Amino acid sequence: MATHVTTRGEIPDAPFYITLTDTFMSGWGKARNLTNRLILPCASLDEAARVEQYAKSRKDTKNVRFCTTKPQIGIGQYAQVMDPNNATAWYGREGVK
């Protein structure tokens, strides 16, 4: 499950982030007339590599980026932070306890 964010301050602190455009969800629903951008905070370099690989393997994503600082939220974007507890497929693991 993703949480909608509107400022960088709402993005959880993490050493790494993977960001991407979700082409399936862009342009409709809550992202109507906007680009749906996902932000995936990662606790380790290994986790970031798994998330990045998974994101690049999907056909409904583009502009996959690896970041070491909190990403900016641009005009025209509907930004969502993915939670490793609720988006386990993205993180390649079972929920964190």
In the prediction, which pLDDT does 92 show? 82
Block residue for tokens 């959880």:
12
Residues 54-64 have a mean pLDDT of 96
Asked if residue 86 has pLDDT above 90, the reply is: no
Asked if residue 28 has pLDDT above 90, the reply is: no
In the prediction, which pLDDT does 82 show? 93
User: CA end-to-end span of the chain, whole Å?
Assistant: 16
Residues 4-23 have a mean pLDDT of 96
pTM to 2 decimals? 0.90
